[in-house]
Structure 1
Amino acid sequence: MTAYSMVPPQGPPPGSPRARRDRQLKLTVPVSLFFVGGFWAIVLLSCAAGLTGATRFFYTPLAFVIGAFLFVRFPAAYLVHLWWIWFLTPFVRRVVDFKSGWTEFSPIMLAPYVVSLLMLVTVIRFLPRLNQRDMFPFVPILVALSLAYPVGVMNAGFSPASFDVLNWVLPVVMGIHIAFSWRSYEKLKVSTEQAFLMGAAVLGAYGIYQFFFLAPWDAFWMRVVQMDSIGRPAPMEVRIFGTLNSPGPYANMLAVSLLIVLGARGRLPFLAGIPAIVALLLSLVRAAWIGFGAGLFIMLAKMDMSRRAKLIAAVALTVVLSLPLLSVEEVSKTVTTRIESMIGDKAQDDQSFKDRVHFFQTFVEDALSNPIGQGIGATGVATKISNNGKMGELGVIDSGLLEVPFVLGWLGGALYLSGVALLVTATFKRRWSRQDGFVTVAESVALSILVQMVFTNMLTGFIGTLFWSFIGFSIAAERHWASQSSTARSSSRGASAP
């Protein structure tokens, strides 16, 4: 049984569909440990043995081969594999570059995209079924992205547009894949919960280590990329980014993990929550703090009094258990200074706040003046491809709400945002899955990410996979529980027939 299951424990008859499902659920953990654990053992042992040059070239192909096998045979383990590829790939790249020399465009960084491409099989297979009511909002989103790609090719170039279309499209594909995999909902739910609970512990602990000690490969990377916004490459002078490439995605991964932690039961979630909450604070990402607060508010609002009391107790216990780390002088001073920058006059005097207000005032006309938009590839990391490896002028857009029309244009932006609005609205109107605690977590995750669109585009890249995958889980859960209810009614009628 999972932490979120609605069905009370009982022994299903041998050979029944539920018995087969239970056996598949039990297989998820050992299969994940064998294949996913084996992959990371090979990678880490190769790095430890000094074979980083070879790792640079076998990492992505091996990740794809294992992903393809798991995708076909063990879908839940495939999802675990994909999450950990997203979690740890930047870390592997930094270690390899530190030991074997810096490369501006590392093949290692293609691994999450290559493994994610496998889910296009699901989209192609079920493409005609996108006209179903709960899936139809994905149609205007895909149409908008299809229109923006050729515009991006014309304006930014083929390579930047082709790379950036992966950042825009693949997270949406992941949501569609999970939604259409509703028959495996229980397995996918368990695998995702396990991945994020373990991820909270591992990535949170590494982030705390990074703050106090800062590994040489992390310091090397900071010096090379010259990202001044994350501090200096020295212990206790860095905004931690963990195993990811910047504090923003790292903080959001931890925020999502904490929401899952707080919705789960047992001792492991609490243990995972301790390093996660400390690392989230040390990331100093105020937008992620606000997003986490919004997600927590939704969880409290959606629960009955009994579950609400348990959630409040879980939050309190997690904070209390984190106090020994939070009370360390270096940690408390760093976090307190950042919190003060959000309050009263200090918020208005904060340079980041001033820069963001200035950006809004100057960029809004550019964002809304082009009816067809600049196209995919005009913003973000893709600008490095057309700018000799350096982030272009539009590499960072301080508002996702403005970046969408700037990239997609008026029509594309309207189609894209209307699809998102329909999907998010539908998550709060679910009928059959209303008592499934994991759906409440999914809704909370979606909102926690969406509210941050004011600050930056949260619907693309790694953070986008968090948003779209949990939208997919909401749809899959509704279909799963509706099917369960229908089966139960059919069984009841059969039993009562003379």
Structure 2
Amino acid sequence: MKSFSSQWSDHFSSQRFNPAALARWVESLGGLLAIAIFVVVNGGLMVAGGGKILNVLYPATALIVGLILYPRRDTLYLGFVWWIMFLSPFVRRVADWKAVWTDPSPILLAPSLVIFVSLLTMVRFLPRMKPQETLPFLVCLVPVCYAFLIGILKNPPIEVLVATLNWFSPLLLGFHIFTQYRQYPAYQHSMKRIFVWGSLVMGSYGIAQYVVAPPWDCSWMINTEINTNGIPQPFGIRVYSTLNSPQPFACAIKAGLLILLEQIGPISLVASGVGYLSFLLSSARSAWVSWAMSLVTYFTLLKASAQVKLVAWVTFAATLVMPLLVSEPFATVIQDRLKSFQDIKGDTSYDDRITTFNSAFDASIFEFVGNGIGKDAFAGDHGILSMLYSLGWVGMLTYMAGLFLAFYKLLRCQGKWKSTSIALFTSIALGTVQQIISNMAIIGVLGCIMWGFIGIALAGDRYHEWRSREL
């Protein structure tokens, strides 16, 4: 038997200096320091009322931090992308409230600018990867590039530039996540953690927004004159939390709530409570349908034992939320919105939707060439018709074919790997794509959520293939 000193010597020799590990630690520390400086500087300007400076500094420093984090190839860049997306509209509202109303606001460009850093991923990986691996992304990229060229010819350059960021960002984000498949365990854990904490933060603020109606939110609603967000007073707002409107917020928190179905712990419990309440207060019916569709899809993709656990957790979540549904000041607004499913014609927005649908249909149905990027005639409503208007028939059908290829590949791999995480990510993406019927779900926040979860699900499939060959 070895002596104590010999054992200690062996242990010490096994803990040899590892330059690579130290370099990774220093890189991560540098990334965290960059994020901390970004938060302190921009947070200080928000508190001090430096809205005019924020309009320039916030997107510029966000891009710089993105460039610092990107080469590290860890999950810090991914986390920064999602949190910038979640919080930038809130930053804009506070900045404008403290200073001068600015529209359009450069602050809202920050998420797309940070995501566009990952264009380097496409440049690096597309030539190296097999076409069949990247086919869904390539097929969807072609009509978007085509619409960009048409937009340059038909539409104002500034509008085309801003819209280009909106259209390309989801595809770039999804492709970047997919190419990091060798780090899939870390990436899928990071995605879950981001959306759990996102549900807690956005859900909590959403309830406060409904009850208190913060002055920066009310000021923004008055200036934008967007009636669909409710009335700028306590208990009158359709909750949109830190985002710009109820649909993007509901889509983001929907993803978090579905991820919370497999999480256990006090944070998850609180996040579920505030998340479901704010989700219902958003009154976003298409997001509610999307959540239900994702839940049913997830259930069908699970094994029998996992299905039992899911039913138990959904029952528990329903028990948690039900008291809130029958308690004022929340009950009336939620119940009235739920009743509108039974009497859709009784809904005050029904006539407006029919009118806008008819005008969108007339403007789009014969668009074979399309009007290109930069001309959004329908303000993000009627997703299929908006795609048809921008991409034309050929472009829209090509894009839909790319989505079909992505989901065909994901659904085909479910039985092969029996991964609950891949099933969950696939379900979230599939539920989001359903929103194309009523919302422009391929761009902006909705598009990033759809393609982000397509990317992580495809990365999981590719990771398991890679590991099976390595073993």
TM (norm. structure 1) is 0.86
Matches within 5 A, 1:232-247: 232-247=231-246
Distance 1:305 1:23 in 2: 45
Q: Could you tell me which of 367, 371, 392 is aligned with 2:364?
A: 367
Partner SS for 1:134: helix
Q: How has the CA–CA distance of structure 1 residues 23 and 368 changed in structure 2, closer, same or farther, with 3 Å as cutoff?
A: farther
What is the rounded CA distance, in whole Å, between the counterparts of 1:99 and 1:190 in structure 2?
Answer: 37
Matched residue, 1:9: none
Q: Residues 263-319 of structure 1: CA distance to partner in whole angstroms, max 9, x if unpaired?
A: 334443222111110000000000000000000111111111211111122222223
Task: After TM superposition, list the pairs within 5 Å mapping 1:370-385 onto structure 2.
Answer: 370-379=367-376
Amino acid at match of 2:352: D
2:140 corresponds to: 141
Correspondences of 1:205-224 after superposition (within 5 Å): 205-224=204-223
Gaps of 5+ in 1: 1-13, 380-393, 489-498
Which residue does 2:86 correspond to in 1?
A: 87
Deviations 1:132-154 (A, max 9, x none): 31311222211111111121122
Secondary structure of the residue that 2:441 maps to in structure 1?
A: coil
Measured in 1, the distance between the counterparts of 2:25 and 2:415 equals 25
Question: Which residue of structure 2 aligns with residue 293 of structure 1?
Answer: 292
Matched, 1:424 2:419: no
2:249 aligns with 250
Matches within 5 A, 1:79-478: 79-129=78-128, 131-343=130-342, 346-379=343-376, 394-430=377-413, 434-478=417-461
Following the alignment from structure 2 to structure 1, what is the Cα–Cα distance between the partners of residues 392 and 123? 26
* SS of alignment partner, residue 474 of structure 1: helix
Q: CA contact under 8 A between 1:427 and 1:475: conserved in structure 2?
A: yes
Residue 442 of structure 2: SS of its match in structure 1?
coil
Q: Distance in 1 between matches of 2:323 and 2:25?
A: 36
Q: Match of 1:150, as an amino acid?
A: L
Alpha-carbon contact 1:134-1:475 (below 8 Å) kept:
no
TM-fit CA distance, 1:246: 0.7
Shift in Å at residue 326 of structure 1? 3.8
Q: How many Å separate the matches in 2 of 1:319 and 1:431?
A: 28
Write the distance in 2 (CA, Å) between the matches of 1:208 and 1:141. Answer: 37
Taking structure 1 as reference, are residues 254 and 129 closer, same or farther at Cα in structure 2, changes over 3 Å only? same
Deviation at 1:432, TM superposition (A): 7.9
* Cα separation, partners in 2 of 1:267 and 1:313, compared to 1, 3 Å: farther
Contact 1:28 1:187 in 2 (8 A): no
> How far apart are 1:26 and its partner, in Å?
9.9
Distance (whole Å) between structure 2 residues aligned to residue 124 and residue 94 of structure 1: 35
Letter in 2 for 1:367: S
Q: Which ranges of structure 2 fall in alignment gaps of 5 or more residues?
A: 1-12
Coordinate RMSD, CA, aligned: 2.6
Structure 2 residue identity aligned to 1:460: I
What does residue 45 of structure 1 align with?
44
Relative to structure 1, is the Cα distance of residues 25 and 84 closer, same or farther in structure 2, using a 3 angstrom cutoff?
farther
Deviations 1:315-363 (A, max 9, x none): 22223233454443110111001111111xx222223233333443443
Task: Please give the per-residue CA displacement for 1:228-271, whole angstroms capped at 9, x wherever unaligned.
Answer: 11111100011011011111101111111111111334443222
Alignment check: 8 A CA contact 2:428 2:450 kept = yes
Return 434-443 or 293-302, whichever deviates more.
434-443
Q: Determine the structure 2 residue equivalent to 1:384.
A: none
What residue identity is the alignment partner of 2:170? P
Contact 1:207 1:279 in 2 (8 A): yes
Taking a change above 3 Å as real, the CA distance of residues 433 and 213 of structure 1, as seen in their structure-2 partners, is: farther
- Separation in 2 of the partners of 1:107 and 1:361? 33
Distance 2:23 2:269 in 1: 27
Instruction: Name the CA shift for 1:459/1:255 in 2 (closer, same or farther; >3 Å).
Output: same
Q: Which residue pairs with 1:485 in the alignment?
A: 468
Contact 1:433–1:478 at 8 Å: present in 2 too?
A: no
> Take 1:168 and 1:179, find their aligned partners in 2: how far apart are those partners?
18
Q: 1:470 to 1:362 in 2, by over 3 A?
A: same
Secondary structure of 2:53's aligned partner: helix
Matched residues in 2 for 1:70 and 1:190: separation?
A: 18
Does the aligned pair in 1 maintain the 2:90–2:243 contact within 8 Å?
A: yes
Cα offset, 1:420, TM superposition: 1.2
Aligned to 1:64: 63
Partner of 1:10: none
Corresponding residue pairs, total: 456
Offset of 1:58 from its aligned partner?
1.7
Structure-2 separation of matches of 1:440 and 1:28: 33
Q: 1:331 to 1:27 in 2, by over 3 A?
A: farther
Mapped to 1, the partners of 2:63 and 2:381 lie a distance apart of 33
Cα shift readout 1:35-72 (whole Å, capped 9, x = no counterpart):
54553343223322344443332211221121111111
In the alignment, residue 373 of structure 1 is paired with which amino acid? Answer: G
Change (3 A) 1:336 1:21: farther
Distance in 2 between the 1:29 and 1:150 partners?
A: 39
